[in-house]
Amino acid sequence: MKKEQLKPGNMLNPLPVVMVSCGTTEEEYNIITVAWCGTICTDPPMCYISIKPNRYSYNIIKKNKEFVINLTTEKLASITDWCGVRSGEQYNKFKEMNLTAGTASKIKTPIIMESPINLECVVKDIIKLGSHDMFIAEIVSVNINENLMSNETGSINFDDLNLLSFSHGNYYKLGRKIGKFGFSVQKKKKKNNRIDRNKH
Amino acid sequence: MKKEQLKPGNMLNPLPVVMVSCGTTEEEYNIITVAWCGTICTDPPMCYISIKPNRYSYNIIKKNKEFVINLTTEKLASITDWCGVRSGEQYNKFKEMNLTAGTASKIKTPIIMESPINLECVVKDIIKLGSHDMFIAEIVSVNINENLMSNETGSINFDDLNLLSFSHGNYYKLGRKIGKFGFSVQKKKKKNNRIDRNKH
Give yes or no for a contact between B86 and B79, defined as CB atoms under 8 angstroms apart.
no
Tell me, what's the ipTM?
0.92
Pick from A5, A134, A164: which is nearest to B143 by CB?
A5
CA of B18: how far to CAs of A12, A50, A70, B23, in Å?
9, 20, 24, 16
What are the residues whose beta carbons fall under 8 Å from the beta carbon of B193, sequence distance 6 or more?
none
pLDDT of residue A139: 98
Pick from A40, A132, A174: which is nearest to B165 by CB?
A174
Instruction: Work out the number of other CB atoms within 10 angstroms of the CB of residue B124.
Output: 14
Give yes or no for a contact between A112 and A72, defined as CB atoms under 8 angstroms apart.
no
Rounded to whole angstroms, the maximal C-alpha distance in chain B is 75
pLDDT in tens, B129-148: 999 999 999 999 999 999 99
Nearest CA in chain A to B131: A43
pLDDT of residue A189: 52
Contact call for A3 and B74, based on CB within 8 A: no
pLDDT of residue B197: 45
Q: pLDDT confidence of A15, banded at 50, 70, 90? A: very high
pLDDT in tens, A171-181: 999 999 999 99
Pick from B48, B138, B146: which is nearest to A4 by CB?
B146
Task: Please compute the mean of the pLDDT values over residues B158-181 and round it to a whole number.
Answer: 93
In B27-151, where do the E strands start and end? 30-34, 37-41, 46-51, 66-71, 101-102, 111-112, 117-128, 133-145
CA B60 to chain centre: 19
Choice between A37 and A196, residue whose per-residue pLDDT is larger: A37
What are the residues whose beta carbons fall under 8 Å from the beta carbon of B162, sequence distance 6 or more?
B73, B74, B75, B173, B174
pLDDT in tens, B43-97: 999 999 999 999 999 999 999 999 999 999 999 999 999 999 999 999 999 999 9
Q: pLDDT confidence of B196, banded at 50, 70, 90? A: very low
Contact call for A172 and B177, based on CB within 8 A: yes
Q: pLDDT confidence of A188, banded at 50, 70, 90? A: low
Q: Which segments of B86-157 does DSSP mark as H helices, in order?
A: 93-96
Residue A114 has pLDDT above 80, yes or no: yes
Please give the Cα distance from A69 to B8 (Å, whole number): 13
- Strand pairing class (B18-22; B3-6): unpaired
Nearest CA in chain A to B84: A182
Mean pLDDT of chain B: 92
Task: Please compute the mean of the pLDDT values over residues A81-95 and round it to a whole number.
Answer: 97
Please give the Cα distance from A13 to B15 (Å, whole number): 9
pLDDT of residue A153: 77
Contact call for A1 and B132, based on CB within 8 A: no
Question: Which one-letter amino acid corresponds to residue B175?
Answer: G
Choice between B196 and B115, residue whose per-residue pLDDT is larger: B115
Sign, CA torsion A170/A171/A173/A178: positive
Q: pLDDT confidence of B160, banded at 50, 70, 90? A: confident
Rg (CA), chain A: 20
pLDDT of residue B198: 42
Question: Which one-letter amino acid corresponds to residue B36?
Answer: W
The secondary structure of residue B115, as a DSSP letter, is S
Q: Is the peptide bond before A45 cis (omega within 30 degrees of 0)?
A: no
Domains and CATH numbers, chain B: 15-199 (2.30.110.10)
Q: pLDDT confidence of B124, banded at 50, 70, 90? A: very high
Percent of chain A with pLDDT over 90: 85
pLDDT of residue A49: 98
Residue B152 has pLDDT above 80, yes or no: no
Contact call for A9 and B74, based on CB within 8 A: no
Task: Please compute the mean of the pLDDT values over residues B169-186 and round it to a whole number.
Answer: 95
